[in-house]
Chains A and B, each alone.
Chain A
Amino acid sequence: DSGVTQTPKHLITATGQRVTLRCSPRSGDLSVYWYQQSLDQGLQFLIQYYNGEERAKGNILERFSAQQFPDLHSELNLSSLELGDSALYFCASSAGQGNTGELFFGEGSRLTVL
């Protein structure tokens, strides 16, 4: 158990809809990262937050947004969903703000867009 909790584990929705994925980092970790894993794109870094502030941005679509709350949990919002958004979405956390150490991953949220 990594200590990172993601909900929901599975989500099935229709095109055009909006969903919110939630992540609780490991106790004491200030950084939260979101990754998307799909068969054709592999593991893609989306965005990182450190102590409530956006720290780094990767290949995150404009239809996607994220935030980190004062209690350090994070939410990833996916809107106007398309079939291609079907993927595993992982949250990870680390103690520091940089990527110089180990990341702890949650078990992921599997999104299926029909």
Chain B
Amino acid sequence: SQQGEEDPQALSIQEGENATMNCSYKTSINNLQWYRQNSGRGLVHLILIRSNEREKHSGRLRVTLDTSKKSSSLLITASRAADTASYFCATVNAGNMLTFGGGTRLMVKP
């Protein structure tokens, strides 16, 4: 079963535009993480936000967390063709397992 669900499932934008992906989850969390996966490759950790944080930045990435709504968003600003990938949110549940959502497939057109 998947704890987090990303929305949208797919997103296509032009280079230079911003991309926003959302993640909703079901149970209380310790932290929420975002990962990126280039096609057929391993996942790469992007950013971690703890349950007592509301916003975090890393370069062109901005993550927000709303624990009252059990949701998070990942914003990529000034997107580049190289940002084309799948993006996953992941949460740690009571069983101490890091559970991934279904992912958002982002395509950035040059």
Say whether A99 contacts B44, CB under 8 Å. Answer: no
Which residues of B are in contact with A by a Cβ distance under 8 Å? 2, 30-31, 33, 35, 40-45, 48, 88, 92, 95-103
- Could you show 30 A-B contacts with beta carbons less than 8 Å apart? A2-B42, A42-B100, A42-B101, A42-B103, A43-B43, A43-B88, A43-B103, A45-B97, A45-B98, A45-B100, A48-B97, A56-B95, A56-B96, A58-B97, A90-B42, A90-B43, A92-B43, A98-B96, A99-B98, A100-B31, A101-B48, A102-B48, A103-B98, A104-B45, A105-B35, A105-B44, A106-B42, A107-B41, A107-B42, A110-B40
Quick one: given A42-B102, A101-B48, A102-B48, are A88 and B97 in contact (CB under 8 Å)? no
Q: 1/0 per residue A73-114: CB within 8 Å of B?
A: 000000000000000101010000011111111111010000
Bound CA–CA A57/B9 (angstroms) = 28
Asked if A49 lies at the interface with its beta carbon under 8 angstroms from chain B, I say no
* CB atoms of A45 and B99 under 8 A apart: yes
Instruction: State the interface size on chain A (CB cutoff 8 A).
Output: 26
What's the Cα separation between A100 and B94 when bound, in Å? 12
Give the A-B pair count, Cβ closer than 8 A: 56
Q: Are A56 and B102 in contact (CB under 8 A)?
A: no
Give min CB distance, B30 to chain A, whole Å.
Answer: 6
Highest count of chain B CB atoms <10 Å: which of A43, A58, A104, A110: A43
The residues of B that contact A101 with a CB separation of less than 8 Å are 48
Residues A103 and B97 in contact, CB atoms below 8 Å apart: no
- Chain B nearest Cβ from A45, distance in angstroms: 5
Write out the residue numbers on chain A whose beta carbons fall within 8 Å of the beta carbon of B103.
42-43
Q: What is the minimal beta-carbon distance from A37 to any residue of chain B, in angstroms?
A: 9
Query: A99, B96: Cβ atoms under 8 Å?
Result: yes
Tell me the complex Cα distance, A4–B102, Å. 23
Closest residue of chain B to A102 (Cβ to Cβ) is B45
Evaluate whether A88 and B40 lie within 8 angstroms (CB atoms) in the complex, with A103-B45, A103-B98 already known.
Answer: yes
Smallest CB gap from A110: residue in B: B40
Given known contacts A42-B2, A42-B102, A100-B92, A105 and B42 CB-to-CB distance under 8 angstroms: yes
